A = this chain, B = another copy of it.
Amino acid sequence: MNAKLQWLRNNMSSLDLQGLILTNPDNIRYLTNLEAEGIFLLTRKENIFITDGRYIEQVHRTLTLFDEIIVYDAHDVAKDDYENFFLFCENVGFEEYDISYAKYKEYIRKFKIHNFVETDHMIEKQRMIKDEEEVGNIQKACEITDNCFSYLLSYIKPGMTEKEIANEIEEYYRQRADGLSFETIVASGENTSQPHAVPTNRKIQTKDIITIDMGCKVNGYCSDMTRTIFVGEVPEEVKPVYDLVLKNQLQTQKQYKDGANTRLLTKMVENDFKLHGYSLIHGLGHGVGMQIHEEPYVSYHSDTQLRENMIVTNEPGIYILGKFGVRIEDTVQITKFGCINLTKSEKNYIII
């Protein structure tokens, strides 16, 4: 059994869980390296992965004896088998944020579960703290992202459409990484006022402002970076907004460290924005890992502490309806006494 499964077994006994049903595919992959569809059961003595015929061969290729995981084809699991998996288990845990209400009801019946117990993001919380291998993958994904951005600065020319630029980014990542970690945002001109803009056929013009939000995956781990750049010159009306966003991004960078409170961090940026007549309409950051958005969230709604080896984004943004928007975002690693920017691209005015 690997270290992550051993941690889980220990955690289960400290929570008085004799059994556990895992359904979240990322959590299953985190614990087992398996990418196949299926559910992962931890019974009193066994670790069981139930999948179907489409994945059996692939699963057997991934697992070794050391994994101590028994694989079943759902086709071959009888009604009685389901009822026996958790025999004599008083409490069986489940992932209440992942399982649908319909599955919840089905599993209680099918597995004859006595006490079906919510586990409150138990594995997601463990996933927040990255081990060396995970940090390495994210570092690599961030490095490729920095390189891609630097390539873009010479690639982007007036007359190109947002879509063309987004496609070029995708192509770049496809050749050097395991593809995108999310749909690239390339927004230009007034389109930058939408934080989640989808690339359009709008052509880049002189004096445009362009927001690029991009990231790739390496071995299943994500990177995330945003830069707002300028064509030819920085428009006068944008300057104070850009400066304010950058000032807050740099201040946050100084404050990100083990022990810092996510709500307080957000509140400080919100206050400074308000003081200047703007507001922070999205969170200040989010965890980055196997998912592009994962715990911990750095927002007003999340009252938690940053911890060493969490990897989160630092991404203040200001959006002025129908005019323009500015966002500057890095992926950073939290350390005992500060943080390390894993994306390192220039943040002062970039004029192409």
Residues of A whose CB lies within 8 Å of any CB of B are 36, 52-55, 57-58, 75, 94, 96-102, 104-105, 118, 167, 170-171, 174, 193-197, 281-282, 321-322
Contacts and interface: CB of A to CB of B under 8 A. Distances in A.
A54 B282 contact: yes
A54 B96 CA distance: 27
A118 B118 CA distance: 21
Contacts of A98: 100
A200 to B, nearest CB: 12
A97 B96 contact: no
B100 A54 contact: no
A58 B55 CA distance: 39
A196 B58 contact: yes
Contacts of A99: 100-101
16 contacts: A53-B195, A53-B281, A54-B194, A54-B195, A54-B281, A55-B196, A57-B321, A58-B194, A58-B196, A75-B281, A96-B100, A96-B101, A96-B102, A96-B105, A99-B100, A99-B101
Given A167-B174, A174-B167, A193 B57 contact: yes
Given A52-B282, A96-B100, A97-B101, 18 more contacts: A36-B196, A53-B195, A53-B281, A53-B282, A54-B281, A55-B196, A57-B193, A57-B194, A57-B321, A58-B194, A58-B197, A75-B281, A96-B102, A99-B100, A100-B101, A101-B101, A167-B174, A170-B174
Contacts of A321: 57
A281 B57 CA distance: 12
A98 B98 CA distance: 10
Nearest to A99: B101
Contacts of A196: 36, 54-55, 58
A118 B102 contact: yes
Contacts of A55: 196
Nearest to A321: B57
Contacts of A94: 101
A195 B197 CA distance: 36
Contacts of A58: 194, 196-197
Contacts of A57: 193-194, 321-322
A322 B193 CA distance: 53
Nearest to A167: B174
Contacts of A100: 96-101
A185 to B, nearest CB: 11
A103 to B, nearest CB: 8
A96 B118 CA distance: 18
A196 B75 CA distance: 17
Contacts of A171: 171
A288 to B, nearest CB: 18
A101 B322 CA distance: 39
Scoring A57, A101, A102 by chain B CB atoms within 10 A of each residue's CB, the highest score goes to A101
A63 to B, nearest CB: 15
A77 B75 CA distance: 47
A17 to B, nearest CB: 16
A128 B101 CA distance: 23
Nearest to A183: B179
Contacts of A118: 101-102
